[in-house]
Structure 1
């Protein structure tokens, strides 16, 4: 039995489907089982509640020795320690001694890792879980291609997406479905022990200017990236519902990436996901943009 947390998210939903397709017994922990993908509730055991709740996790891991761990986003948190390590602390007993595969971040050991906002907090959470004597595999990634979906509206209306990253910053963007596939392989592999990081990278490093260029080519419209000042970015993230500490943690992460947080990771066949950014744009971004444009057009016609 494999326990999957955050089963309705972009990565977790792919993990659940990959395990079920391989006929692996799955138990999911879901706050709202109604949000599970169609068919999942009929194929998997469902534990209702938050995986940050000790009683819920104790029930979820009963009879299971392998867990996929992913912290849900908490924009309302008072700070990154509360959002990451603070979420995990109450359930460490449930994870202790088990095999845990988690989604983490690149950059451990780099000069900027201690001031990287959410990345710093994620690494601290990794240390907590691994410290329970769990066999631990951290899937370390840079930026998700799927993050661009948050900018579909501005791309459709203004042909622009924005952020605090340098336009010429080359990063190993990866599709969330490739991260999930790596998780499924590890969850099904019974041979590994101890603690290790497993990089999951896209096929190539891309600058934000190049991302804009490829997205524009696939969408058939001009798209550009605009770097914004840090304070303006924080203000925008707060308008989107983040507390100020959580918004600043996003800025700190971006600034650390500007300073080389994700640089220098070797790309090998074992660490490289197959999905190119152009392919992802064709298969994910373009349909999302078409849906967004149709909804906007429908609203405008009323």
Structure 2
């Protein structure tokens, strides 16, 4: 039995569906009132629990062989904070899994996670990695770079599809190895299927390093029209953009994160998603057409 924590989120749900499709028995940790009908209909077992409630995690881990978690506080609010979820919550899950005799633990972290990071979220991720390495379980740590499915949608995809100009913080020429969530799901699947590879940290990127200008160009080619671009100096407020997002985009303008993925992709049997193919799929799905490109009728 595989327990997936974070299965009601975008990446966690994709991971759970990927494992179910491959025939693995999957249990999903859901909070009371969370939407998980699609996973249950796909034959997942749902168990009610919360990372902040150690007692519920003990029950969730009972009879589990492997824990996979993507749970984090980034899209939450209220009592769900970096401290309560990403630091203490992950500690609770590791301790519950270890006490229940779980043999393997796969933790989806972030590229750059470190206990010494000045960013609280990245520091909490780094502390969780450290705890996991010192646990009694076999482990795999996944460190994906920026997701294609997140920032490019907010920064370029939504305004491009609505005919609005794209606002870039800085010149948008720094290069980052954006990775598609479905690629991350494939790496996790490969990790589940190959326990002999446990004890590794997998740093994940996409097929190529791209800039924000490349993202804009990919949408222009897909849509067949030019997209107006305006720029705002890093550190300046961006009209209509949350300060947290503007600050993160400014940070991305201070470094490059190019990753060479050919060897790791070949070893794990993953075909990295290119920016162009991801944009093509995103535009089709946004227009109501399935990924195969045939419009729904």
Q: TM-score range by the shorter chain?
A: 0.7 to 0.9
**Which residue among 219, 225, 231 is the counterpart of 2:223?**
219
TM-superposed deviation, 1:158: 4.3
Identify, as 1 or 2, the structure richer in helix: 1
Q: Which moved more, 1:84-93 or 1:59-68?
A: 84-93
How many equivalent residue pairs?
275
TM-superposed deviation, 1:79: 6.2
TM-superposed deviation, 1:197: 1.0
* 1:33-60 per-position Cα deviation (integer Å, ceiling 9, x unaligned): 7623636345121102324421222111
Q: Distance in 2 between matches of 1:82 and 1:261?
A: 31
Paired residues of 1:2 and 1:187 also in contact (CA < 8 A): no
Residue 257 of structure 2 aligns to a residue in which SS? coil
Paired residues of 1:104 and 1:141 also in contact (CA < 8 A): yes
1:20/1:108 Cα in 2 relative to 1: closer, same or farther (>3 Å)? closer
Q: Distance in 1 between matches of 2:65 and 2:239?
A: 41
**Which residue among 259, 281, 284 is the counterpart of 2:282?**
284
Q: Map 1:147-158; keep pairs closer than 5 Å.
A: 147=150, 148-151=152-155, 152-158=157-163
- Aligned-pair Cα RMSD in Å: 3.1
TM-superposed deviation, 1:10: 2.0
TM-superposed deviation, 1:215: 1.1
TM-superposed deviation, 1:118: 3.5
TM-superposed deviation, 1:9: 2.0
2:112 matched to 1:103?
no
1:232/1:76 Cα in 2 relative to 1: closer, same or farther (>3 Å)? farther
Q: State the match for 2:91 in structure 1.
A: 89
Paired residues of 2:69 and 2:108 also in contact (CA < 8 A): yes
1:42/1:260 Cα in 2 relative to 1: closer, same or farther (>3 Å)? closer
Structure 1 unaligned segments of length 5 or more: list them. Answer: 239-246, 292-302
TM-superposed deviation, 1:255: 4.8
Paired residues of 1:29 and 1:51 also in contact (CA < 8 A): no
Q: Distance in 2 between matches of 1:172 and 1:260?
A: 12
Paired residues of 1:171 and 1:206 also in contact (CA < 8 A): yes
Q: TM-score scaled by structure 1?
A: 0.77
Q: TM-score scaled by structure 2?
A: 0.78
2:202 matched to 1:189?
no
**RCO higher in 1 or 2 (8 Å CA, sep ≥ 6)?**
1
TM-superposed deviation, 1:155: 2.4
